[in-house]
Structure 1
Amino acid sequence: MFSNPLFAAGVLAAGSAVIVRKRVVDRSGVELVHAPQTAAVGDRGSLLDIIAARCPSLADPKAARFVPAVALPTADMQTCYNGVCEGLRRARFVEYERELITTEDGGTIGLDWSPPFAQMPEDDRPIVVLSHGLSGGSHETYVQLAVRHLTAAPYHFRTVVVNYRGCAGVRLTTHVLYNGGLTADYGFAVEHVHRRFPSSALVGVGYSLGANLVTKYVGEQGEACPLKAAISVCNPYDLLAASDAIDRPSIRNKYLYTPAMLLGLMRLFHRHRKAIDSGPVRLDHAAIAKITRIRQFDDLITARVFGYTDSVDYYTQCSCAQFLPRIRIPLLAISSLDDPVCPEDTIPRSAFRSNPHLILATTQFGGHLGYHESLSSTWLPRPIGEFCAAIFDSPEA
């Protein structure tokens, strides 16, 4: 599927001549889905009013559009280019300062602050708390691009990336890793940030599986949520449906997405196998050695370690879609309709049409966490920065 504006030919007969006129079908615009009346944000108007006034990348008819790079015209190319960038940029291009925090059960979470405190001393400026995707971390290209954008002019926000147990070089100090619904760890990190910076407003941003986790957390917290707002990017919403989509027989699933995602999970498991085996659960390592599908990983490892009946039980309990009606803070969700990992039919549009605190922004193109406008620039950080500034009521928005 090529994603630049497509052309539809209209054929008109004029006497004996045939005139072919080309009509441009522009599919690059952003579509907003929301309740008929969105919730008030303090005394500054409704959520939709604020987005219309402060977020041109989402609401301005001329600016609210994403046109893929000519060199990356398909969803698969958009998605895989992140991996290419990761390979080319083995060194981080964002500078972090790591802080390790210990949970009540002895788990370790790595908080990567940017800019480092020597460059940006502690103050009461707004903070954006970012949550990575499956087996990822602060090194991921999509995370670093957002951090670089949010910490630069005109925003100059403080950012912190939550690296979950065992991820991104964080040592596993218990027998459990993390999963897409383990909101206790995310909540622990948010509370730590809030205690350290009690006068700073916080916005949470989650990507992919991290988006599911952040959204679930916000729904669980309801009106007591310590975040001022949240942003969900390429959220699977329904983990069972997303798993079914990845398991569908296709060449790209068999040879591209399943192997790539499974490789990250298996590396994480083998890196921390000794710690995981130290726990009370006895795993079937002979069966684990034969894993070829993500659902098998979640059946044999995730479900057993965390006490779920099986992968279906895990997916059902941890999917964030069921928590959307409970959300009581502004939440912006960004999804591309050609996402090969989180398909369009998993997006719960009815929840966005009924809960006035939610706004869904969809694009026709972008793949999964892609949104590359060229080989050196990406669209995604712009709406994230604009929305954060609008929520923080920053004059630079």
Structure 2
Amino acid sequence: MGGGASPKNRLPEVVGSPGLLEGELVKSLSEVRKPYKPFPLLTNRHVETIFAAFFRSLPNIKYRRECLRMADGGTVALDWPLLDIDSPVGATLILLPGLTGGSDDTYVRHLLRRACKHGWNVVVFNSRGCADSPVTTPQFYSASFTEDLRQVVKHVGTSFPTSRLYAAGWSLGANILVRYLGQEGEHCPLSGAVSLCNPFDLVAADKDFHKGFNNLYDKALARGLRKNIKKHAALFTNIGGEYNIPKATAAKSVRDFDDGLTRVSFGYSSVDDYYYDASSAHSIKDVKIPLLCIQAENDPIAPARGIPRADIEANQNCLLVVTLFGGHLGWVAGNEAPFGCPWTDPLVMQYLEALENLQSNQPSFQRAAKQDGDVETVSVEIR
């Protein structure tokens, strides 16, 4: 699917296996049969990315925070929205923000509010150190690390055993999610997932990060990472080994931070080995549940050349939607543009609800017997 209209009035590109494209699921996605119309003057990839980051509205949402102790002693925070929405709780959706992101980000809150209004039970998974999530061990998170997500899925599923589970991730969160799906394969407890702005090929993304205007994004993300490690500096005192904590705390780029801390924490001999192994493009072929991937052709942080198109098309479970414009976490288009939700939100909900309707006769999450290593709630607060 696509279109021969002018670039600013073109249908999104839809890629998938022939059987999937002709099936009921894709036929139900009316959003992809409408032209993608970027908001006037916001077609430059950097302008759109920056506009969305600084000027998109921030829905007012209060959360109940549940801090979970992981099997290795680390801690993550789950934020459950406290919304005055009178609707029954249906399926459960886990949201994974991007690098240094969390439940306070605009794109997260917009999708969360929409899903809640549709009767979904929603929770934001804040990785270690993100959104003021406690850091209790000298280890943060990485593009390659899926164990925290695995334990969170089990915890949420055990808490709502009669509900089917879904997940949606953005940027680095999308990369972690797709890696997890591939690792779980046929045993994945999720009933469906959505990946947005996934860098897919972290080696290619890293190369682009150091070019031209992209340096500004690199420096901004590095600043957030530096702030995080400095806040918890005591945990890294005299850590020894190959760690280079001074390099991480002074990092001017994400690569410097990853070289000083991340790749060592997760057992890689070099940053390039870490980026290659952590790239979720390798995982697509192993995904066994329905997965929607939404990308922007002009994304400055998740380059289009990294999208594993052939593997997506060969996998009957995977669907790819590519817009010509959108930037990174931008997609300033649709009925609520320029200050409202991203163009992607109605499509994400349309896809998830279509899946939920098609799978209404499928089993929900099955409560597993409690085993050693299960997570435990260590604190609950309102924020």
TM-score range, shorter chain: 0.7 to 0.9
C-alpha displacement at 1:320, in angstroms? 0.9
* Alignment-derived partner of residue 75 in structure 1: 45
Distance in 2 between residues matched to 1:288 and 1:389, nearest whole Å = 42
Distance in 2 between residues matched to 1:371 and 1:353, nearest whole Å = 24
Q: Given the alignment, which residue of 44, 50, 63 partners 1:96?
A: 63
Q: Given the alignment, which residue of 188, 191, 199 partners 1:236?
A: 199
Q: Name the CA shift for 1:29/1:338 in 2 (closer, same or farther; >3 Å).
A: same
Identity of aligned residues (%): 31
Note if 1:348 corresponds to 2:308: yes
Note if 1:227 corresponds to 2:190: yes
Distance in 2 between residues matched to 1:82 and 1:131, nearest whole Å = 18
Q: Given the alignment, which residue of 341, 363, 383 partners 2:347?
A: 383
Distance in 1 between residues matched to 2:301 and 2:231, nearest whole Å = 25
Q: How many residues align?
A: 353
Contact map agreement 2:214 2:301 (CA 8 A) in 1: no
* Alignment-derived partner of residue 125 in structure 1: 90
Q: Name the CA shift for 1:224/1:299 in 2 (closer, same or farther; >3 Å).
A: same
Larger radius of gyration: 1
Amino acid at match of 1:150: A
* Alignment-derived partner of residue 16 in structure 2: 34
* Alignment-derived partner of residue 253 in structure 1: 214
Amino acid at match of 1:80: I
Distance in 2 between residues matched to 1:51 and 1:68, nearest whole Å = 26
Contact map agreement 2:296 2:326 (CA 8 A) in 1: yes
C-alpha displacement at 1:82, in angstroms? 2.9
Contact map agreement 1:138 1:144 (CA 8 A) in 2: yes
Contact map agreement 1:55 1:386 (CA 8 A) in 2: yes
* Alignment-derived partner of residue 313 in structure 1: 273
Note if 1:202 corresponds to 2:165: yes
Q: Name the CA shift for 1:222/1:291 in 2 (closer, same or farther; >3 Å).
A: same
Q: Deviations over 1:239-286 (max 9, x none)?
A: 1111111123x1x123x2221121122122212222233755464344
Amino acid at match of 2:292: L
1:46-195 aligned at under 5 Å gives the runs 49-58=23-32, 60=33, 63=34, 65-85=35-55, 89=58, 93-115=60-82, 125-152=90-117, 155-195=118-158
C-alpha displacement at 1:379, in angstroms? 0.9
Q: Deviations over 1:55-81 (max 9, x none)?
A: 2112x3xx3x32121142311111112
Q: Deviations over 1:3-43 (max 9, x none)?
A: xx99xxxxxxxxxxxxxxxx9555431111111223xxxxx
Tell me the SS of whatever aligns to 1:360. Answer: strand
* Alignment-derived partner of residue 295 in structure 1: 255
Give TM-score, length-normalised by structure 1.
Answer: 0.83
Which sections of structure 2, spanning at least 5 residues, go unmatched? 360-383
Higher relative contact order (CA 8 A, sep 6+): 2
Distance in 2 between residues matched to 1:272 and 1:214, nearest whole Å = 26
Distance in 1 between residues matched to 2:347 and 2:198, nearest whole Å = 16
Distance in 1 between residues matched to 2:313 and 2:165, nearest whole Å = 25
Amino acid at match of 2:70: T
Give TM-score, length-normalised by structure 2.
Answer: 0.86
Q: Name the CA shift for 1:288/1:111 in 2 (closer, same or farther; >3 Å).
A: closer
Distance in 2 between residues matched to 1:278 and 1:172, nearest whole Å = 17
Distance in 2 between residues matched to 1:166 and 1:24, nearest whole Å = 44
Tell me the SS of whatever aligns to 2:52. Answer: helix
Distance in 1 between residues matched to 2:323 and 2:260, nearest whole Å = 36
Q: Deviations over 1:166-201 (max 9, x none)?
A: 110111011100111210000100010000001101
* Alignment-derived partner of residue 319 in structure 2: 359
* Alignment-derived partner of residue 363 in structure 2: none
Distance in 2 between residues matched to 1:394 and 1:150, nearest whole Å = 18
